[in-house]
C-alpha cells in the first residue's frame, strides 16, 4: 500500500472515495501507465480488450474517470449505476469499511448525477478501451422497467455494452426484478430495442450471489430466450459469512470484497456448467490478486472485474495483478488468456 492510499484510509470511506475521484480526475497526467502484454489481449463479443481485468460498477458512477482508469491499466471500465434522473441515494453514512476482512458494506442506493451528465461525460472521453454503462431505475419512479428502457435507448449509442443491474440490494424491491414475471418483461422489451437498433450493443445482466441454483437456471433460460449477451456474477451480498471479524459486519447493505469471493465463484461455476459458449460471463466478487482473477477465468469467466480490493491496495495493485497474471498463464503453458477460459470447469 502506498503512503497516499494509507492516508486515504484515515478518512471516512465516502470522503476518501470523493477525494480519490478528484485526484484521479485532475491528477491524470501524473498517473503511471498500465502494464501491457500481448498474452492478456482478448476479444469478446467483437470488442477488443487490452486485458481481461475491468473496474466494476459503482466506482465511476458518473463516467468521469474513463480515460484515467484505462490509463492505469484496466482493460475495461464499467461506469454507473446511472439512473434517468439525478438522485442523492440513501442517508449518510452509507459506506463502511471492514478492514479486518478486506471488505466493504455499502448502502449507497444509486447516488448519481443522472443520465444527461453521464452521456455528456461518455461523449467527451477519449475512450481508448472498452466502456460499459451500468443502468438502473430511479427510486421514486412509477415503473422500474420503463426506466431501464428509457435509459438504454439514450445511453447505448455512446458506449460499448450496457449492463442491466437488477441486483443492487440498496434500492427497495429492485431485486424483485429477478423474479420470472418481471425479468421476462424486462429482457423481452430491452432486447427488442437492441435488435431494432442499427448499431447493436451487447447487453449484460448483473445478478446477485444470494439465490439458489434453481433460480439461476430460470435466469439462464430467460437470458437464452431473449439472446442476452452475457451475465455479470455477482453484485454485493446480503449474507454475512461466519468468517467476518470486523465490528462493522452488523451494518445494513451489500457486502463486497474477500468474504464474498467463494459465493460469487460458486455462482460463476454453476452458470458456466449450465451455459453454452455463446453466453459471456464476467466474474466479479472478492478479487484481490492475480490468482483470484485467474481462478475466475478458469471457472469460465471471459472477463473479470474488481472494486473493493482496489480501495485497500491502491492503483498500483492493478499492474501487480497484470504482471503476475502473465506469469500464471505462462506457467500453465498458455500463449493467451483466452485459452484458459473454463479449463477447470469442464
Ligand atoms: C461502494 C460500492 C458501490 C457499488 N455500487 C455499485 C453500483 O452502483 N452498481 C453495481 O452494479 N454494483 C455496484 N457495486 C458492486 C460492485 O460492482 C461489485 O459487483 C461488488 O463490489 C463485488 O466486487 P468486489 O468484491 O471486487 O468489490 C458497488 C460496490 C461497492 C463496494
Indicate whether 346 belongs to any domain: no
Peptide bond into 92 cis (omega under 30): no
Indicate whether 91 belongs to any domain: yes
- Phi/psi for 326 (5° steps) reads -60, -40
Q: Is the dihedral of CA 274, 276, 279, 283 positive or negative?
A: positive
Q: Which atom of ligand 1 is nearest to the CA of 236?
A: 20
Q: Which atom of ligand 1 is nearest to the CA of 234?
A: 19
Q: Which residue has a Cα nearest atom 5 of ligand 1?
A: 58
- Total tally of structural domains belonging to the chain: 1
pLDDT at res. 6: 85
pLDDT(216) > 90: yes
Peptide bond into 152 cis (omega under 30): no
Q: Which three cell numbers stand for residue 121?
A: 461525460
Cβ(308) to ligand 1 under 6 A? yes
CA-based R_g, the chain, Å: 19
pLDDT at res. 131: 98
Q: How far is the CA of 245 from the centre of ligand 1 (A)?
A: 21
CA angle 54, 276, 178 (to 5 degrees): 65
Q: How far is the CA of 196 from the centre of ligand 1 (A)?
A: 31
Give the pLDDT band of residue 3 (cuts 50, 70, 90): confident
Cβ(132) to ligand 1 under 6 A? no
Q: Which atom of ligand 1 is nearest to the CA of 308?
A: 27
- How large is the average pLDDT for residues 234-257? 98
Give the pLDDT band of residue 5 (cuts 50, 70, 90): confident
Cβ pair 234, 267 in contact under 8 A: yes
CATH number of domain containing 157: 3.20.20.70
The three-state secondary structure class of 7 is helix
Q: How far is the CA of 233 from the centre of ligand 1 (A)?
A: 11
The tens digit of pLDDT for each residue in 77-119 reads: 999 999 999 999 999 999 999 999 999 999 999 999 999 999 9
Alpha carbon distance 216, 328 (integer Å): 31
Which of 69, 208, 233, 236 for mutating ligand 1's site (highest number of atoms within 8 Å of CB)? 236
- How large is the average pLDDT for residues 30-40? 94
pLDDT at res. 332: 98
pLDDT(1) > 80: no
pTM for this prediction? 0.98
Of the candidates 257, 235, 264, 102, the residue with the CA atom closest to the CA atom of residue 169: 235
Number of Cα atoms under 13 Å in the Cβ half of residue 163: 27
State the first-to-last Cα distance of the chain, in angstroms, to the nearest integer.
37
The tens digit of pLDDT for each residue in 109-158 reads: 999 999 999 999 999 999 999 999 999 999 999 999 999 999 999 999 99
Alpha carbon distance 21, 58 (integer Å): 12
Measure the CA dihedral 107/109/113/119, to 10°: 110
Cβ pair 310, 317 in contact under 8 A: yes
Indicate whether 345 belongs to any domain: no
Indicate whether 126 belongs to any domain: yes
Q: What is the mean pLDDT of the chain?
A: 96
- How large is the average pLDDT for residues 207-230? 97
Indicate whether 39 belongs to any domain: yes
Of the candidates 84, 55, 135, 105, the residue with the CA atom closest to the CA atom of residue 241: 105
The tens digit of pLDDT for each residue in 275-306 reads: 977 899 999 999 999 999 999 999 999 999 99
CA angle 25, 26, 32 (to 5 degrees): 80
- How large is the average pLDDT for residues 213-241? 97
Quote the domain boundaries for residue 102.
3-340
Amino acid at each position: 500500500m502506498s503512503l497516499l492510499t494509507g492516508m486515504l484510509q484515515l478518512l471516512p470511506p465516502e470522503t476518501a472515495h470523493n477525494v480519490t475521484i478528484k485526484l484521479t480526475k485532475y491528477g491524470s497526467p501524473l498517473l503511471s501507465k498500465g502494464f501491457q502484454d500481448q498474452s492478456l489481449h482478448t476479444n469478446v463479443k467483437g470488442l477488443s480488450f487490452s486485458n481481461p481485468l475491468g473496474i466494476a460498477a459503482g466506482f465511476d458512477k458518473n463516467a468521469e474517470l474513463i480515460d484515467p482508469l484505462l490509463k492505469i491499466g484496466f482493460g475495461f471500465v464499467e461506469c454507473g449505476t446511472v439512473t434517468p434522473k439525478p438522485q442523492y441515494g440513501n442517508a449518510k453514512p452509507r459506506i463502511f469499511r471492514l478492514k479486518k476482512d478486506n471488505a466493504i458494506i455499502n448502502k449507497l442506493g444509486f447516488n448519481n448525477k443522472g443520465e444527461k451528465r453521464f452521456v455528456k461525460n461518455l461523449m467527451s472521453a477519449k475512450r481508448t478501451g472498452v466502456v460499459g454503462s451500468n443502468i438502473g431505475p430511479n427510486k421514486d419512479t412509477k415503473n422500474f422497467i420503463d426506466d431501464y428502457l428509457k435509459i438504454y435507448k439514450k445511453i447505448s449509442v455512446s458506449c460499448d455494452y450496457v449492463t442491466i443491474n437488477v441486483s443492487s440490494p440498496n434500492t427497495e424491491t429492485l431485486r424483485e426484478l429477478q423474479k420470472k414475471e418481471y425479468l421476462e418483461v424486462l429482457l423481452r422489451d430491452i432486447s427488442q430495442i437492441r435488435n431494432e437498433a442499427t448499431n447493436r450493443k451487447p447487453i449484460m445482466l448483473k445478478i446477485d450471489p444470494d439465490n439458489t441454483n434453481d433460480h439461476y437456471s430460470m435466469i439462464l433460460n430467460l437470458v437464452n430466450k431473449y439472446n442476452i449477451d452475457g451475465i455479470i456474477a455477482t453484485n454485493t451480498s446480503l449474507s454475512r459469512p461466519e468468517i467476518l471479524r470486523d465490528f462493522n459486519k452488523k451494518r445494513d447493505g451489500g457486502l463486497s470484497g474477500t468474504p464474498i469471493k467463494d459465493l460469487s465463484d460458486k455462482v460463476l461455476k454453476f452458470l458456466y456448467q449450465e451455459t453454452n459458449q455463446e453466453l459471456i460471463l464476467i466474474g466479479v466478487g472478492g478479487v484481490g490478486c492475480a490468482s483470484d482473477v485467474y481462478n475466475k477465468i478458469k471457472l469460465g469467466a471471459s472477463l473479470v472485474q474488481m472494486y473493493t480490493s482496489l480501495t485497500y491496495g491502491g492503483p498500483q495493485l492493478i499492474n501487480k495483478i497484470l504482471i503476475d497474471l502473465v506469469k500464471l498463464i505462462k506457467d500453465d503453458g498458455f500463449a493467451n488468456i483466452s485459452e484458459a477460459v473454463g479449463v477447470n470447469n469442464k
